[in-house]
Homo-oligomer: A and B are copies of this chain.
Amino acid sequence: MRVLLVGAGGVGTAVTRIAARRPFFAAMVVADHDLGRAEAAVAALGGDARFRAERVDAGDEAAVTALLERHACDVLLNATDPRFVMPLFRAARTAGATYVDMAMSLSRPHPERPYEECGVKLGDTQFAQAADWEKAGALALVGMGVEPGLSDVFARHAADELFDEIEEIGVRDGANLTVDGYDFAPSFSIWTTIEECLNPPVVYEAGRGWFTTEPFSEPEVFDFPEGIGPVECVNVEHEEVLLVPRWVDARRVTFKYGLGEEFVRTLKTLHLLGLDRTEPVTVPSPAGPVRVSPRDVVAACLPDPATLGERMHGRTCAGTWVRGVKDGRPRELYLYHVVDNQWSMAEYGCQAVVWQTAVNPVIALELLATGAWSGAGVLGPEAFPARPFLDLLTAYGSPWGMREQ
């Protein structure tokens, strides 16, 4: 297998460090719009000759296609931000490469009833091309990070081995990460978090299909394992709700993010004041009036999460809660994966959230390389057998857990 990894940010860099310990691929080309970032990622691997750095603009479909062809790559792994999903997805198709990403094509709210009906859903633009991929016998594996990704694998596993009938699948994400020296320092991009949290959350119900709600709807306190404890979770728009029902039979599918009360309050305040907006406002500056996006100003006031790994403490948990029936009796389980930041920093020099996202696509690449996973079309992680994935996760040194509720 020859891989083109596009994006050498936090997640892309972690992908290289995890993959470098595995023998399943022959080459990994690390491409970024900033060649220096790509080179730094490769240089940190201590001379592994399978890796090389390239410069590429992820939005330039033709350039990406040419790069895939020049290096004879058979897989493109997209580790950029969601704005680049479509050009990279199309470039892989054109070059005849397998495509893997960790977030799906973007949604657009319903123009009249944004908090009741779906408009363009996450992944719709990709699924619209599914017939092309199938016809060509080519595979796009979409949403293959931790959430979506591992959470979808958990859903598949629950359906295959743990339940006869599933009432509800609820992905639940929570952490107890703190950052020394900061009262408020999100461990992920505030720009993206605002985007995720203020988009209308999507819910799936059998019979009704997909629909949306108000932001921060259905708050609940979920008790996370391994010392994280109870965190307030709210509905957030997320890929799993769109992916799981396509392959797994469940009456209801939700995604709730453990933002915690303080964070929810902060986001609500930003929204109330219009500080979440991306449309520019006019502001005085030493050089006269200038136009800036309030959301960019919020981001500029906070520390860059990529620089916080060393100051961060605590654990992050991704998991899938499932309620249903097994052998005629009600059952409730939480399948989960916890990463301790001190462990991931010591072991890989990567912050926990970033490392947890990156390990999953590397496992998926390994399963594709060995043939344990194969398929054609635009497929989510739950379209493949879960057991080999979960076993490999444990083999990578980061075991998953299961809690009977």
Partner-B contacts on A (CB < 8 A): 183-184, 265-266, 269-270, 272-275, 277, 280-287, 290-294, 296-298, 300-302
| CA of A375 to CA of B290, assembled, Å | 49
Contacts of A297 in B (CB 8 A): 275, 281, 283, 292, 294, 297
Contact, CB under 8 Å: B274 / A302: yes
12 A-B pairs with CB atoms under 8 Å apart are A183-B272, A266-B269, A269-B270, A273-B298, A274-B302, A275-B275, A275-B301, A280-B286, A284-B292, A286-B291, A290-B292, A294-B301
**How many Å from the CB of A46 to the closest CB on chain B?**
35
**What residues on B are CB-neighbors of A269 within 8 Å?**
265-266, 269-270
Do A301 and B277 touch (CB < 8 A)?
Answer: yes
Question: Is there contact, CB below 8 Å, between B292 and A292?
Answer: yes
Instruction: State in angstroms the CA–CA spacing of A266 and B302 once bound together.
Output: 17
Give the docked Cα–Cα distance between A294 and B283 (Å): 9
- Docked-complex contact A184 and B301, CB < 8 angstroms: no
Known: A265-B265, A280-B285, A285-B290. 11 other contacts (CB 8 A): A184-B273, A266-B272, A275-B275, A282-B300, A283-B293, A285-B293, A286-B291, A287-B291, A290-B292, A294-B297, A294-B301
Q: CB distance A281 to B300 under 8 Å?
A: yes
State how many angstroms separate the Cβ of A282 from the closest Cβ of chain B. 6
Within the assembled complex, what's the spacing in Å between the Cα atoms of A284 and B184? 22
Which residues does chain B contribute within 8 Å of A281, judged by CB atoms?
297, 300-301
**Inter-chain contacts of A287 with B (CB < 8 A):** 290-291
Residues on the B chain within 8 Å of A265, using CB: 265, 269
Closest B residue to A277 by CB, please name it. B301
Contacts of A292 in B (CB 8 A): 283-285, 290, 292, 297
Do residues A283 and B302 form an inter-chain contact, with CB atoms below 8 A? no
A19 to chain B, nearest CB (A): 32
Q: Which 9 A-B pairs have the closest CB atoms?
A: A274-B301, A281-B300, A269-B269, A290-B290, A184-B272, A297-B297, A283-B292, A283-B296, A283-B300
Q: Which residues of B contact A291 (CB under 8 A)?
A: 285-287
Pick from B266, B283, B296, B301: contact of A284, CB below 8 A: B296
Distance between A79 CB and nearest chain B CB, rounded to angstroms: 22
A336 CB to closest chain B CB, in angstroms?
Answer: 30
Given A265-B265, A297-B292: A302 and B285 within 8 A (CB)? no
The interface centre, meaning the residue of A285, A298, A300, A302 with most chain B CB atoms within 10 A of its CB, is A300
- A281 CA to B270 CA, complexed, in Å: 18
Q: A275: which B residues are within 8 A, CB to CB?
A: 275, 297-298, 301
Bound together, the chains give a CA A265 to CA B275 distance in angstroms of 15
Q: Which residue of B lies closest to A300 (CB)?
A: B281
Q: Which residues of chain B have C-beta atoms less than 8 A from A277's C-beta?
A: 301
Q: Residue on B with the closest CB to A275?
A: B301
Residues on B with C-beta less than 8 A from A273 are 184, 266, 270, 298, 301-302
A269 vs B184: C-alpha distance when bound (angstroms): 10
Residue of B nearest to A287 (CB): B290
A271 CB, nearest partner CB in chain B, Å: 9
| Least CB separation from A267: chain B residue | B269
Name the residue among A183, A265, A293, A301 with the largest chain B CB count within 10 angstroms.
A301
Chain B residues positioned under 8 Å from A301 (CB to CB) = 273-275, 277, 281, 294
Give Cα A380–Cα B5 distance, bound, in whole angstroms: 71
In the complex, what residues of B have CB within 8 A of residue A294's CB? 297, 300-301
Instruction: Chain B residues near A296: list those with CB within 8 A.
Output: 283-284
> Once bound together, how far apart are the Cα atoms of A298 and B269, in whole Å?
12
Q: Which residue of B lies closest to A266 (CB)?
A: B269
The chain B residue with its CB closest to the CB of A299 is B283
Per the bound structure, the CA–CA distance linking A280 and B269 in Å amounts to 22
The CA of A52 and the CA of B205, in the complex, are separated in Å by 71
Residues of B within 8 A of A286 (CB): 280, 291
